Amino acid sequence: MKPLILVPFLLLSFIPLSSANDGAPFDYFMFTTIYPTAVCRADDDSVPDSCEIPTGTPLWTIHGLWPNYENGSYPQNCKGTPKHFDADMIKSIAGKMRTVWPNLFPGKSIQSFWKHEYEKHGTCAQSDELFDTELLYFTEVMKVYDSIDIATAMSSIGPSDKLITKNDVLTALTSVTGGNTFQFHCLKDKITKQFLLGDIRICLNKDLTIRSCPGPKDNVWNRVSRFERSVGNGGHQPLPSYQPCPAEFVYLPPEKSSSKSSEPKTSLFGFVWNAIKNVGR
Ligand SMILES: *[C@@H]1O[C@H](CO)[C@@H](O)[C@H](O)[C@H]1NC(C)=O
């Protein structure tokens, strides 16, 4: 009988301790940055009135980095280590994440957005060894964010109250995309009913070099995939439904910081905003 007792231990020894086999096969990454100013002005019931841009938030913030298939579909909620978001694993980088990957809805915990992105998309990225753990996923996404400076590239066209065109965006971002096609979307302003530039999506190879997004060259940068991620649903982070931008739209300036308080505020946000305003003018 004794040898039988050994069997479970032998089996156990074959279970890999590393997460190298987690995740899912996929073709490329899509990196999405959102424009919080537009999100909080979106005419969309899924955006609560409590939408608030935390002090110190940069002009553009992270939405996520998503493993995608060439056919426009994508894997989601994959086998991961851990399968469920564990806030303890990212304590060392949570400070930076609060700034560049903020939750705009005070009614929800900041972790709820990170949890959603990790469990839905981050677990699928674990087939790529660069993204083998939860900590690596968030660390690498922030590296991508740091390497793609949307705010500076866009500073030649705004933010401003002037109308801009798709070509303006295309030209402004050439410096970061190197001419590769990308996507962007708009949101409708609940006050002015104008269309506002709301997000920018850049495609990357698995080694994180920039590539063109799949699809027809002429319009790929402004289409909404039929596999559009509807993060507004399911009790997750409420974000509005992004839509194709019309011929003209606005890269809306952030609201001037607090007129409620009488003391002049030099927030990091104001500092960044002024610095950006002054570039290229
Ligand atoms: C897209 O491609 C993936 C990977 O090849 C495949 O698993 C999936 O079924 C495809 N989805 C559609 C809708 O074609």
Domains of the chain: which residue ranges?
18-278
Tell me the β-bridge partners of 23.
79
The whole-model pTM stands at 0.81
CA distance 86 to 111: 9
Q: Which fold has domain 18-278?
A: Ribonuclease Rh; Chain A (3.90.730)
Which ranges of the chain have pLDDT less than 50? 1, 218-236, 259-267, 269-281
Length of the chain: 281
User: Assign residue 56 a region: left if phi > 0, alpha if psi is -120 to 50, beta otherwise?
Assistant: left
Peptide linkage before 159 cis (omega within 30 of 0): yes
Which atom of ligand 1 lies at the shortest distance from residue 72's CA? 1
For residue 239, what pLDDT is reported? 77
User: Is the Cβ atom of 262 under 6 angstroms away from ligand 1?
Assistant: no
User: Is the Cβ atom of 73 under 6 angstroms away from ligand 1?
Assistant: yes
- State the burial class of residue 261 (Cβ atoms within 10 Å of its Cβ: 0-12, 13-18, 19+): exposed
Atom 3 (ligand 1): residue with closest C-alpha? 69
For residue 203, what pLDDT is reported? 97
Atom 4 (ligand 1): residue with closest C-alpha? 69
- At 143-192, the pLDDT tens digits run 999 999 999 999 999 999 999 999 999 999 999 999 999 999 999 999 99
CA distance 43 to 188: 5
For residue 33, what pLDDT is reported? 97
